[in-house]
Amino acid sequence: MHRGLIAVDATVCHGKPCIRGTRILVSSILSQLAGGYAYQRLSLKAGYPELGDEHIRAAIDYARNVAWAASSATVRVSG
Torsion of CA 58, 63, 66, 67, to 10 degrees: -140
pLDDT of residue 32: 86
**pLDDT band for position 71 (cuts 50, 70, 90):** confident
Q: What is the CATH number of domain 6-66?
A: 1.10.10.10
Q: What is the pLDDT of residue 1?
A: 63
Helix axes 26-34, 53-72, angle to 10 degrees: 90
- Convert the pLDDT of each residue in 1-49 to its tens digit: 677 999 999 999 999 999 999 999 999 999 988 988 777 777 777 877 8
Listed in order, strand segments (DSSP E) in 1-79 are: 6-7, 18-19
